[in-house]
Chain A
């Protein structure tokens, strides 16, 4: 499985290029619309092509990501996988209760995070040492909140709540508690 930072970098490049293109297009349009020139309307067939392009872009994004982002298949078929390592974590009164002081796993192992909340809705996120996000999920009371993940890089990872659960929630951070080794 590729590291999620690769996907983030790809998205950054794609959206930046798109944003620049839209900005330039609107600037061009603003200049042209106030200049002398032929005023016409788009032919119907080109308009239909435009609709088809929009439809293809809208749908192809999801087809592309489901085919290229490996955690999508794992996530949608979690019941079919047997994890190499499982961590049962409980959250109560804005505190994570871990099964051990340090959670350890190896690169390439399929890790299950099974997180339960006894009171509020929280979030569960795993972050790299540079604060970038590896993955996250919501933690909802009364339901199973399970996330399967394969780590591609060794290092120390931080767990923090990614959902607002009242003013106390922003301190729900366990620094470097997840250790991934080669």
Chain B
């Protein structure tokens, strides 16, 4: 095939969007859009990397901080949420061998998350609303720095994402618990409680003779437990958004609400409790669940210590409700007991739960050696490495003594946050994408394995390198969320910028490889209505019906 043919129709013309089921289209729409939002977030990240070397003429401080505000939200909601939602809305029915509860609701999730992300990104770009995602009160309602109209549109965008998220949550739990027409009746409540880990009859702490088999498989349990945190987080963010919106609407109508009516420290506790349901909750749980699933799929074997793994997922969920105080170790008014118990000790459990997930996955892989170094396997190993580096970095900063000299430095955002997200989470998601690609595309062939190899190495070196150089700067006192004008840390930032550029190049190679795999016509076709009218997941299942 000529270059032009491949570019238009994909590798060997194998990908036919007309042959996709509505479920395949839904999953692909989410994943492709999530990948594109990752690209937007990567470009923003690169702008900020350049700005950290030397402020860029033409981008003033207001614009820079607006980018800094939008960047993590586009990355988390626009990219990670989209990819995860698409994958799990497909995988839950796939693993449970029944249709998704509502494809229509799934498409609404997609529309709301996508347009919500575009709305808040656009509002930030135009109005420069920039209180950062931390929203420390009363900053989001400080209208001497930010206009209320732009802010209100920004909050509206976040609200759309949250409504889309709640649609996802409903769809996941309904799919787990409902009985489709023609299927054997299941006890919906029992399925739900089994999935979230509160069904006593199957508890690991019950006598073996009295213990019942788990009604839901381990990957379903992981998805359900992560979804609990997703739901709680959506509730907190929505409440917070409504609160800020009240202040903004009042300001738009010329009424200034007293901005000290809300206790700043209580608000900070509330906000971090909610936000940690993402950072220390659903991310870790979803990732662990995805590792387990991928390890089982790659090896074709049962998971090592599956019961312990299931228990660890439950502990992870409960731990994620109680660790928020590690963000407030430098708040002197925060009670010491909360700092020690929640901030230090409970947080240390994450080392145990994530460490268990790390070793259980490795041991499962080892049980099937020799394995072929496929794309899913190599990206899975990259994801494991990412969390192997990032979780201990987080435990170090979640320490009363060390936090005093690390808080808000580049250490936090480099070796911990970016290595966790870019190397740990993103490489795990790439592993799932490479695994699901032939399933979701009815056997489309990857355009170039060589490009996939470059994608892996450049992403890995770029992600680890960027985190390392940011961390070195942080240990030398470089703060996050600020601007340096005198090149105080330029050597570290040049090196971090070079590593960041490897990440961007690796993404462009991946994107090119995907476009050449499915073709431009194929990409457009994903977004067109499905021609097959079926709730089956795959075309062959429809044929079997």
Contact = CB atoms under 8 A, between A and B. Distances in A.
Binding between chains A and B: yes
Interface of A: 4, 7-8, 11-12, 15, 18-19, 22-23, 26, 29-30, 32-37, 39-42, 47, 50-51, 54-55, 57-59, 61-62, 65-66, 68-69, 71-72, 75-76, 78, 119-121, 123, 125, 127-128, 130-138, 140-147, 160, 162-170
A166 B130 contact: yes
Contacts of B44: none
A65 B401 contact: yes
Given A39-B366, A131-B478, 14 more contacts: A18-B392, A33-B371, A51-B356, A54-B352, A54-B355, A58-B352, A68-B401, A121-B268, A136-B407, A137-B330, A138-B328, A142-B260, A166-B65, A166-B139
Contacts of B393: 15
Interface string B396-412: 10011110110111000
Contacts of B65: 164, 166-167
Contacts of A137: 330-332, 404
A72 B401 contact: yes
A131 B477 contact: yes
A123 B475 contact: no
B448 interface: no
A22 B419 CA distance: 14
B137 interface: yes
B351 A54 contact: yes
B483 interface: yes
B349 A58 contact: yes
B305 A62 contact: no
B305 A58 contact: no
Nearest to A76: B336
Contacts of B482: 164, 169-170
Interface in B126-180: 130-132, 134, 136-139, 142, 145-146
Interface stretch (B92-100, B377-385, B433-441, B533-541): B377-385
Interface of B: 61-62, 64-65, 130-132, 134, 136-139, 142, 145-146, 260, 263-265, 268, 304-305, 308, 328, 330-333, 336, 344-345, 348-349, 351-352, 355-356, 359, 362-363, 365-373, 377-378, 381, 384-385, 388-389, 392-393, 395-396, 399-402, 404-405, 407-409, 415, 464, 468, 471-472, 475-479, 481-483, 488-489
A120 B401 contact: no
Nearest to B312: A51
Contacts of A59: 345, 348
Specify which of A12, A120, A130, A140 lies most central, judged by the most chain B CB atoms within 10 Å of its CB.
A140
Nearest to B407: A136
B333 A140 contact: yes
B405 A141 contact: no
Given A22-B388, A30-B373, A66-B401, A163 B136 contact: yes
Given A4-B404, A23-B385, A127-B477, A58 B367 contact: no
Given A32-B369, A34-B370, A51-B356, A163 B408 contact: yes
B400 A168 contact: no
A134 B476 CA distance: 10
Contacts of A130: 476-477
A127 B367 CA distance: 52
Contacts of A29: 362, 366, 381
B457 to A, nearest CB: 12
5 contacts: A34-B371, A78-B332, A121-B139, A165-B139, A167-B62
Contact of A121 (B264, B400, B415): B264
Specify which of B330, B355, B395, B396 lies most central, judged by the most chain A CB atoms within 10 Å of its CB.
B330
Contacts of B478: 131
A59 B369 CA distance: 34
Contacts of A169: 482
B263 A142 contact: yes
Contacts of B472: 12
Looking at chain B's contact residues, the main secondary structure is helix
Contacts of A26: 381, 384-385, 388
Contacts of B399: 61-62, 65
Contacts of B308: 47
B381 A30 contact: yes
Nearest to A14: B396
B304 to A, nearest CB: 6
A138 B345 CA distance: 22
Contacts of B142: 119-120, 166
Nearest to A29: B362
B275 to A, nearest CB: 15
A67 B469 CA distance: 30
A34 B372 contact: yes
B138 A146 contact: no
B366 A40 contact: yes
A48 to B, nearest CB: 10
A167 B371 CA distance: 52
Contacts of B345: 59, 62
Nearest to B347: A58
B145 A167 contact: yes
A131 B332 contact: no
Contact of A11 (B134, B372, B396, B488): B396
A131 B381 CA distance: 37
B379 to A, nearest CB: 12
A68 B328 CA distance: 22
Contacts of A120: 136, 138-139, 142
Contacts of A32: 369
A42 B65 CA distance: 49
Contact of A4 (B348, B363, B405): B405
B373 A75 contact: no
A127 B65 CA distance: 23
Contacts of A141: 138, 260, 264
Contacts of A72: 400-401
A164 B356 contact: no
B131 A136 contact: no
Given A131-B476, A137-B332, A167-B130, A41 B304 contact: yes
A167 B61 contact: yes
Nearest to A128: B477
Contacts of B62: 167
